[in-house]
Chain A
Amino acid sequence: MFPLNAWYAAAWEQEVGRTLTARTICGRQVVLYRTEGGEVAALADACWHRLVPLSMGRLDGDNVVCGYHGIAYDPRGRCAFMPSQETINPSASVQSFPTVSRYRLVWVWLGDPNLADPAKLPDLHWASDPAWAGGGETLHVDCDYRLVLDNLMDLTHETYLHSNSIGNDAVAETPFSVSHTDDKVVLTRWMLGIEPPPAWDAELKWRFPDYDGPVDRWQIITWQAPSTITIDVGVAKAGTGAPQGDRSQGVTGQVLDMITPETDRSCHYFWLRMRDYNLDDEDYTAAMVRAVHGIFNEDAEMLNAQQKAIEAHPGYDFYNLNIDAGGMWVRRLIDRLVAAEADLVGERALAERG
């Protein structure tokens, strides 16, 4: 249940080099590599000849050579060499997919290649803006990617699942508002005059070591179709104007979550935790990545269990609560995108075939 006419994060830029990287994205097996010129090629990971994974082969210049019989393909997927004959079979090729490198990631487009416009990438400018610093990693989660989106669109769970770090009662107790467009859902929650949870207390102390008072805390969660969620988070000294836009008395983080379906029941979860202070301190970045790693692994454990529980209870649906509004909007908009894609195919079929 995912649209294909979209950019999906396939790998970190540094993961793709002069070797072959196999990755399953939206159920499609893809092999990624970098050409000598530095471009990222993405090909269907199945040899035209006998379907073995091309990722088990090797690179020869810009071409992938199948590890079984030596059939070679160029970065566009066109066959460039065939063993034991002087010609090349005219239909020999594998599918190639458009890619773009941006925001530290390689993105791949699996749908209609003519629609693959880099302008359709989600906005993740914090990842490459020098005014921000941070790091991240990939989490592999054995669940439907939409369960991760549900998780991120409802941070009420922080109170219960992450009570040792970022959760406290205030998150669950404070109401939120949800707005949406066709390809965006924004959930906003302001917690005013609260006691900061441990992790946020530590972050604020980096900038204001002597401050021990209450804080105004925010979580502004933005889903961008089909599966990117950015969370604008932070705390500021209570009553210093943060809700009105003055964050000078606080610290701000951006949690960037790029969730790519792998199969119907597994996903690649790329994340970055950016901050707007202490920009040059790599040890601080490493410590922050470790902290988020711990928190997200609590999520992954729950999500893996949730997927198993769903499969163990066939014939049962979720009961939705008020706190699920954000996730439900996301699911509704994803359904619309998938239906629109099916309609597009259907309309073409209708126009062409009746």
Chain B
Amino acid sequence: MPPRQTASWHRVKVRESFAVADQIRRIVLDPPAGPAPQPGSHVDVLVPAAGGGHLVRSYSVVDDGRFAALSLGVRLDPHSRGGSAFMHRLCPGDEVTITAPIQTFGLTPRQSRYVLLAGGIGITPMIGMARKLKADKTDYEIFYAGRNRVDMAFVEELREDHGERVRVRYEDEDGRFDLLEVFGGLTPETELYVCGPVGMLEAAQKAWEATGHPSHLLRFETFGSSGRLPNETFEVVVPKLGLTVTVPPDKSALDALGEAGCEVMSDCLRGECGLCVLPVRVADGVLDHRDVFLSGRQKAQGDQMCLCVSRLSGGSLVLDLP
């Protein structure tokens, strides 16, 4: 949203932590001093890195009004790079270092209609947004899809709070939402908010365009956290430095390269800013682009990648270090 806020770090206590779905925990923290979180905001959390030091991970604030505190919803990534595994181990009384809530996915005020489309854990920022839209008496709908019943958190709460305005899809039972049909029935002033895996975002972008909606009315957040393919080990070769680096499933290419002494400039760590994009000379696996910086055309060309989030399905790739 408005220019990036300077992060202010706070040491806060964990109040509660409990499972809300398979592999998803709700973690309730003492709120840091300062204004209440805006709908759609997230906090950055300092998590210990495997080789010492800390990494920064972003988690959306779950703002459903049920906890008088700062509440996060965290899904355990089976290939956690340390972030979600650390978060899932937190117990009441533990201390953790977080930023004050940061707003990068704010609602545009005064649209005539809003549609929120969430995939899996992508529902988390939508909860506060939906609450705000309801409080403002706006016209809104929530489309929430996930792989199956046990995987999906907050379904009952959403139904309770938003009734008919929520549509839920368990993809193993009902299949996917027909986005062409959903978007086709929307007025041209509708604004769409998407938070979910990159695959869902790409499908939504395609359907949004196909149904004649303007691209600037599609807003999204991904955190670059999931791709089309599972995390596998792969190798990155950097001929210029004579380096071959192994990237395990729980580590990003950016981090693995950095640990091996290949320093690449980066910033957002969620596939948005494009600072860590490097040319790929050869790749003998499938590039799983998880960023939103490169266009569809550029991704299809396959000659560059965003090292903070994107991966190879296995095998090795050769990077051109400038």
The residues of B that contact A351 with a CB separation of less than 8 Å are 65, 68
- Are the CB atoms of B68 and A354 closer together than 8 Å? yes
- Are the CB atoms of B221 and A90 closer together than 8 Å? yes
Q: What is the CB-to-nearest-CB distance from B194 to chain A, in angstroms, rounded to a whole number? A: 9
- Are the CB atoms of B1 and A95 closer together than 8 Å? yes
Number of A-B contacts (CB under 8 A): 77
Main secondary structure of the interface of A (DSSP, over half): loop
- Are the CB atoms of B293 and A354 closer together than 8 Å? no
- Are the CB atoms of A80 and B216 closer together than 8 Å? yes
Tell which of B31, B68, B219 touches A90, judged by Cβ atoms closer than 8 Å. B219
> Interface size bucket, A side?
20 to 34
- How far apart sit A49 and B4, CA to CA, in the bound complex (Å)? 8
Number of residues in B with C-beta < 8 Å to the partner? 35
Does A14 sit at the interface, judged by CB under 8 A?
no
- Are the CB atoms of A90 and B220 closer together than 8 Å? yes
- How far apart sit A354 and B36, CA to CA, in the bound complex (Å)? 10
Residue-by-residue, is B274-292 near A (CB-CB < 8 Å gives 1, otherwise 0)? 1000000000000000001
The residues of B that contact A114 with a CB separation of less than 8 Å are 109-110, 136
**Residue from B31, B106, B216, B294 whose CB has the most chain A CB atoms within 10 Å:** B216
Q: Which residue of B lies closest to A352 (CB)?
A: B36
Does B297 sit at the interface, judged by CB under 8 A?
yes
**Residue from A78, A345, A350, A353 whose CB has the most chain B CB atoms within 10 Å:** A353
Residue-by-residue, is A314-354 near B (CB-CB < 8 Å gives 1, otherwise 0)? 00000000000000000000000000000001001111111
Q: Which residue of B lies closest to A46 (CB)?
A: B3
The residues of A that contact B221 with a CB separation of less than 8 Å are 90-91
- How far apart sit A44 and B106, CA to CA, in the bound complex (Å)? 15
- How far apart sit A353 and B297, CA to CA, in the bound complex (Å)? 44
Q: What is the CB-to-nearest-CB distance from A270 to chain B, in angstroms, rounded to a whole number? A: 26
- How far apart sit A78 and B273, CA to CA, in the bound complex (Å)? 17
Q: What is the CB-to-nearest-CB distance from A118 to chain B, in angstroms, rounded to a whole number? A: 13
- Are the CB atoms of B216 and A89 closer together than 8 Å? no
Residue-by-residue, is B104-117 near A (CB-CB < 8 Å gives 1, otherwise 0)? 11101110000000
Answer whether A86 and B68 are a contact pair too, CB < 8 Å, given A44-B2, A78-B216, A352-B36.
no
- Are the CB atoms of B36 and A349 closer together than 8 Å? yes
The residues of A that contact B298 with a CB separation of less than 8 Å are 86
Q: Which residue of A lies closest to B111 (CB)?
A: A76
Q: What is the CB-to-nearest-CB distance from A211 to chain B, in angstroms, rounded to a whole number? A: 55
Does B7 sit at the interface, judged by CB under 8 A?
no
- How far apart sit A91 and B271, CA to CA, in the bound complex (Å)? 12
- Are the CB atoms of A353 and B109 closer together than 8 Å? no
In the complex, 15 of the A-B residue pairs with CB atoms within 8 angstroms, ordered by the A residue number, are A46-B2, A48-B3, A48-B4, A78-B216, A80-B216, A89-B272, A89-B293, A90-B105, A90-B220, A90-B222, A90-B272, A98-B109, A345-B35, A349-B35, A354-B69
B interface residues with partner A (beta carbon < 8 Å): 1-4, 31, 35-37, 63, 65, 67-70, 104-106, 108-110, 136, 216, 219-222, 272-274, 292-295, 297-298
Closest A-B pairs by Cβ, 10 of them: A354-B68, A86-B295, A113-B109, A91-B104, A349-B36, A353-B31, A95-B2, A352-B36, A114-B136, A78-B216
